[in-house]
Structure 1
Amino acid sequence: MPEFMELLKSAFSESANYLTWSFFSIVASFAFYQVKQKRKKKTKPIGVWEKGMYNFYVLIFSVVGAVNILYIVDVFKNTVGSLSAVFMGLFAVLVGVNAGMVVLGQADKRD
């Protein structure tokens, strides 16, 4: 068991920066999506360029978040081994839920 904990420690130390990148990328993606949704509710129509800009930023930040999550999975696969599928699911859920809660919590505070 101590060997397993050492493997986890090294995997977490190698992937901590990438978890931060993926978290903030997904937060930015949620934020751009929420801004787009709020702009739709206003009486002034959204232009094609604005829609394209929002969609482009959502896509870019989502891709950056996904790439960083995949790197975290790779680190755990190389360090821990067969348990990487469990950690992949854990990180994907952790990052997605945290990002969504942060954005929705901030939106509720303003409303």
Structure 2
Amino acid sequence: MEGRYSCLLDGSWGNASQSAFVRYTAAEFEGMKPINAHAAYLTSQTFNRWLDEGWAYKHISYLDYSLMLPLDNLRLEEKNGLFEKWHLLSTDLLSYSTILTTTA
């Protein structure tokens, strides 16, 4: 749903999620209202994109937290204790993630 959702990625399906999905469905399927098949299609497209772009889980052990990052397109520039600084190699991925560092 690139360009259709600009809210927190909190894992909760709220009004912003539904609105973005409605806009996505209308744009991709000639004005149709969303149905389950559209959600399945979007899921498969997203999964394929993650595979193609090298997305993978990164576990932050001291927080016991995992998130997905485009690790094939990131380079660890600096690590000092719990601080990690990552550099994005491909500028076309800038819209995906703003959390590229961790601090205690």
TM over 0.5: no
Structure possessing the higher relative contact order (Cα contacts under 8 Å, 6 or more residues apart): 1
Give 1 or 2 for the bigger CA radius of gyration. Answer: 1
TM-score (norm 2): 0.34
TM-score (norm 1): 0.32
